[in-house]
Structure 1
């Protein structure tokens, strides 16, 4: 799904030290995610907006979901509310395909493979 004028970036181009917001559900997060990402499921973004803005500061927000649809909607919301946000095109499927590092489990503690 493409949104007009929505900032997008390939998963391989996200800086290693970039701020990553993962908007997938808890079970998706536990199956595999980027280490250090902030996890706020899409349905909680509005309610937790203050937490997000505090965590991100002045940095760019790289928003990711499974394939890019939910993250595109969240990116559109964040941009409309003044944040420098970009959708990670292809989501975590593209992240995994690009060989980007991932961990599994709810707490970033365990190394593991991405489970679809």
Structure 2
């Protein structure tokens, strides 16, 4: 799945804190990949979960792990890099112009 995503999706960002702070999708939920196994109760099971990272590698792993445990997942294969290239909205936690770290 590319950055051409439908509106209103559940977007799970599995990047590290510094990457998240630099720039992320406005409605994304941040759960670092390293915390995913202990925070699964926060992830809805009643809808598709779109998983994103910087380039698609970590999100592929996370999406596969979640799918194996019963979630319906979609890997955003071009990640936040593709998100930014597509001109989709981004915000930062630092107050600076958002960018993909």
TM-score range, shorter chain: over 0.9
Alignment of 1:18 with 2:9, yes or no, is yes
Alignment of 1:36 with 2:18, yes or no, is no
Q: Structure 1: how far apart are the matches of 2:23 and 2:88?
A: 11
Which 5+ residue runs of structure 1 have no aligned equivalent? 1-8
Alignment of 1:113 with 2:98, yes or no, is yes
Alignment of 1:101 with 2:75, yes or no, is no
Aligned-residue RMSD, C-alpha: 1.5
Aligned residues: 101
Length-normalised TM-score, structure 2: 0.93
Q: Structure 2: how far apart are the matches of 1:81 and 1:69?
A: 19
What pairs up with 1:62-101 in 2 under 5 angstroms? 62-101=50-89
Are the structure 2 counterparts of residues 80 and 115 from structure 1 closer, same or farther at C-alpha, using a change threshold of 3 Å? closer
Which 5+ residue runs of structure 2 have no aligned equivalent? none
Q: Structure 1: how far apart are the matches of 2:100 and 2:80?
A: 11
User: How far is the alpha carbon of 1:115 from its aligned partner?
Assistant: 4.4
User: How far is the alpha carbon of 1:112 from its aligned partner?
Assistant: 3.0
Length-normalised TM-score, structure 1: 0.81
SS state at 1:10 partner = coil
Whether the aligned pair in 2 keeps the contact of 1:102 and 1:111 (CA below 8 Å) is no
